[in-house]
Structure 1
C-alpha cells in the first residue's frame, strides 16, 4: 500500500515533475507507458507537475490519455479512493520516475480530466458550456469513475464543483440530469434537479433514459408528477363558496359563477401538468369568469382562486 504523499521521497516527485516524457504511438495493450524520444507529451491544464500554491499532493505518477495528454497525479489519492486498485493499474511496482506512467488507451483526455476533477475537488473547472453535448461529455467522464473503483456518489458531493456543474445543466436538460443522478444513486442531485423536471411530459420519456435512471428513481419521478397533477385537479374541482342572497344576486344567479368556474377548469384539464404555473391558472379563471358583475361573487371567486394558488405553491416540488 502507498504511504501518505507528504511522506514520500521528494526526489521521486521532483524527477517526475522535471522529466520530459514521450510515448510510442503504437501502444495498444500494455498497461504502463513506455519511454521514447519520438514525441513530447502535452500536459493537461490544471494537472501539471507544479503543485505550488495548490492543494494537490506532489505528483508521483503520470496518467496518459488515449490522445496522448499527460496528467500528473499522486498514487496515494487514487488508491485511497478506489476499491479496485484503480482498475488493477496500481500500485506501480517501480519507484523509478521514468517508469511511473500509466497509459489509459480507451480514455480520451476530455473525459480523463473529468475523472480527475471528481477526485481532486480543489482543481478549478474551466469549461463553461451548457449544451447537451457538454452535458454528455460530462456524463461520459463521470461514467468512468466506477471502472476505476470509485463510486460516483462518494466523490461528487453537494457543493463540490462537479456537483454544481452537473446541477447547472438541470434548467435545460432536467430529465437527463435526473437520469444521471439516478443511475449513480446520487440522491442529493436527484432531489435538487427534480423540480426542473416538472414541466416535462413524462409520456415522452424515452426507454433509454427510463432504463438509465433505474426503477427506483423512475418510480419516484412518476410519483412526484402524479401527486402534483392530482393535487391541482383536486384543488380546482372545488368551486367558490356561495354568498348570502341579495336582491341583485339570488341563489340561482350564483350558479353562473360556478358554471363559469367549471368551464375554466375544463379548459385547464388538457393543459395541467406537474409544472403548471400559477399565472396560467389565474389567467384561465379570470378570463372565463369575466362576465361576473356581482361584487360578492367576485370576492368569492378571488378568495377561492387565491386559496388554490397558495396551496398549489406549497405542494411538494421534489422527489
Structure 2
C-alpha cells in the first residue's frame, strides 16, 4: 500500500513498539498529544517522522468531519479515521478496541489505537468500511485472504462487506484469473456465494481429478458439489446439443435420401471425436473447427445450407449454456 512520511511533534516513547512483550494481546491504547511548549530544536527525541496512509491521512474528511481517531498498524503506519464510522460498521467495537465509552480525545488531539494487523490488511479493512475501492493497490491473494479472515475478528459481517457490489468483493474476484481454485476455496470457506459464482467461471478448464484433500476440505461439501455439477452439467448439455444432426430436405434429382444419410453419418462421426476430448471449457471456435470441414464433402446446396444453419445454431446454444455454479 502507499503511504508518506509525516513529521509530528510527538514524544518518541509514545511510538515505542512493545509488541514482543504484549504478544497475543488484542490492543494497546495511547493518546496523541502535543507538548504545551514547543520543543527545543536540538531535542530530536520530541520530533519524529511517522508513515501515514495516503488514503487515510490527517485531512481525510467524512461528512465534513475531521478524523477523531488514529489507527496504527503493527508495522507503524498511521491511519486517520472517524470513530463513529468504524463503530457503525462493527458489531463488536472493532474487536473491543473501541468500546462505546471510548474516550476519543485528550484535549483537542485525536486518540491512537494500535491494531495488531499489518498495514496492507488494515488498509483494505478500512477501505471496506468506508466503501472505497482498493483495487489500485493490487494486493496479493495472501493479503486479500488474510483480510477476509480478519473480518469476523473485527465484527465486520462478511455477507455485508464482501457481497457483490462491494469493494472487497471486487478484490476477491480480481484474484480469480491467477488463483482460480484458491479463490474459489476462499469464497467457499466464507460462504460468499456471489464471489464463488463469479470465480467458478475461471474453473471450467480446471482438472477436478487434481483436487487435493486440503483444498477439498477448504471448499467444503456444498461448494464442491456445485463445482462438480457445473462441469458435469456442461458436458451433458454439450452431448444433448450435438445429438441433433442437420435437417434433411425433400429428395431431388441431385440429392437423394441415401446421400443425405451420408451427411448424418459424417455428423455422428465428427461429434464422436468432439465428445472424446470435450472439456467444460470447450470454445465455440474449436467446436466450429471440428464440424465445418464436413462442408467440403457436400455438393448439394441445400445440404450445405442445412449444415451451416445447424452449426450456427449449435454455436449459439453452446455459448448460452451456464458457465458458473
**Alignment TM-score, normalising by the size of structure 1:** 0.79
Q: Counterpart in 2 of 1:111? A: 121
Contact map agreement 1:41 1:70 (CA 8 A) in 2: yes
Query: Structure 2: how far apart are the matches of 1:282 and 1:310?
Result: 11
Change (3 A) 1:95 1:244: closer
5 Å-filtered alignment, 1:84-99, equals 84-91=92-99, 93-97=102-106
Unaligned runs of 5+ in 2: 1-6, 33-44
**4+ residue runs over 6 A deviation:** none
Aligned residue in 1 for 2:220: 214
Alignment partner for residue 282 of structure 2, among 265, 268, 276? 276
Q: Distance in 2 between matches of 1:164 and 1:71?
A: 22
CA spacing shift, 1:160–1:55, aligned 2, 3 Å: farther
Displacement of 1:18 in angstroms is: 7.2
CA RMSD of aligned residues (A): 3.0
Q: Deviations over 1:227-265 (max 9, x none)?
A: 221101111122223332333333333332122212221
Aligned residues: 297
User: Is 1:32 matched with 2:28?
Assistant: yes
- Aligned residues of 2:8 and 2:49 also touching (Cα < 8 A): no
Q: Which residue is 2:38 aligned to?
A: none
Structure 1 residues 124 and 266, CA gap change in structure 2 (3 angstroms): closer
- 1:103-252 to structure 2, matched below 5 A, reads 103-105=114-116, 107-122=117-132, 126-128=136-138, 134-252=140-258
Q: 2:68 aligns with which of 39, 52, 60?
A: 60
2:263 match: 257
Q: Which runs of 5+ in 1 are unaligned?
A: 1-16
Contact 1:46 / 1:124 at 8 angstroms: preserved in 2? no
Higher share of residues assigned strand = 2
> Matches of 1:56 and 1:214 in 2, distance apart?
45
**Counterpart in the other structure of 2:59:** 50
Q: Offset at 1:188?
A: 2.6
Distance 1:164 1:55, change over 3 A: farther
Distance 2:189 2:64 in 1: 29
Contact 2:134-2:171 at 8 Å conserved across structures = no
Match of 1:102 in 2: 113
| Cα distance, 1:73 vs structure 2 | 2.2
Q: 1:154/1:220 Cα in 2 relative to 1: closer, same or farther (>3 Å)?
A: same
In 1, the alpha carbon distance for the partners of 2:247 and 2:146 equals 56
Secondary structure of the corresponding residue to residue 79 of structure 1: helix
- Contact 1:23–1:41, Cα closer than 8 Å, also in 2: no
Indicate if the aligned counterparts of 2:71 and 2:112 stay in contact, CA closer than 8 A: yes
Equivalent residue, structure 2, for 1:306: 312
